Amino acid sequence: MKKRKDENIMKNANGIIIFIVVALVLLFLGACRPWGQVDAGHCGLKLSWGKVVSKPLGPGLWFFNPIGGNLVTYDCREQRSDLRMNAYTKDVQSAEFQIVVTFSLDQSELVQLHNEIGPQYADKILAPAVIGVTKDVIGCWEADKLINGRDKATKEIHTRVCDVLKGKPIRVSSVVLANIDYSDVFEKAIEDKQVAMQNAIRAKNKTQEIEEEAR
């Protein structure tokens, strides 16, 4: 009788120990969370003590070593960056420019991107490249000619940005010079100049009309 009672006590004790162990394991897993999710359109990288230990991972739930491990994700879809900057034209006219850049990441070079640049790649590489190239291109145009030559200037900016980023895991698909905002005084001067040119053309046409009637 006593032996059976001791066995029951041992079973209960073992059950309590197992319960405690399981509870501790669950608490440890809950605290460490040794898994991470990669959303659709994103890519993930497993890290171990800051070092990449996997190839780019597609969407899904991924597990990693909870001791020193981590999972970082990057948006690999086509993205848009809206940049604003001030620059001077060739004739030293200051203006505010809005540049819209469409870009994406090269998934095959994601490990290189993480090791060399990190998640702040847009601020560290993309924006400085676009702003620097845009200032150089704008500086070669006179302010009034830039208004009508915006498309040509935009193509040149796009080409030169791609050259600057060659060898980097960032692919720029388009650059748009969305807006040019000159000072109110300069814009009024441009408007007056265009009106004067139109009046001159009308006057010339009227003169020719009078001469033909006279003949």
* In 108-183, alpha helices (H): 110-116, 121, 127-138, 143-148, 150-164
User: Between vectors from CA 164 to CA 162 and to CA 165, what angle results, nearest 5°?
Assistant: 65
Q: What is the pLDDT of residue 144?
A: 84
The long-range contacts involving 120-128, CB below 8 angstroms and separated by at least 24 positions, are 121/170, 122/81, 125/165, 125/168, 125/170, 126/81, 126/101, 126/165, 126/170, 126/172, 127/81, 127/83
For the segment 36-73, what is each residue's pLDDT rounded down to a tens digit? 899 999 999 999 998 999 999 999 999 888 788 889 99
For the segment 155-212, what is each residue's pLDDT rounded down to a tens digit? 999 999 999 999 899 999 999 999 888 876 566 666 656 545 666 666 677 777 777 7
Q: What is the pLDDT of residue 24?
A: 47
Mean pLDDT of all residues belonging to the chain: 82
Quick one: tokens of 10? 């041992």
146 Cβ contact partners less than 8 Å away, ≥ 6 residues apart? 89, 138, 153, 180
For the segment 79-135, what is each residue's pLDDT rounded down to a tens digit? 999 999 999 999 888 889 999 999 999 988 999 999 999 999 999 999 999 999 999
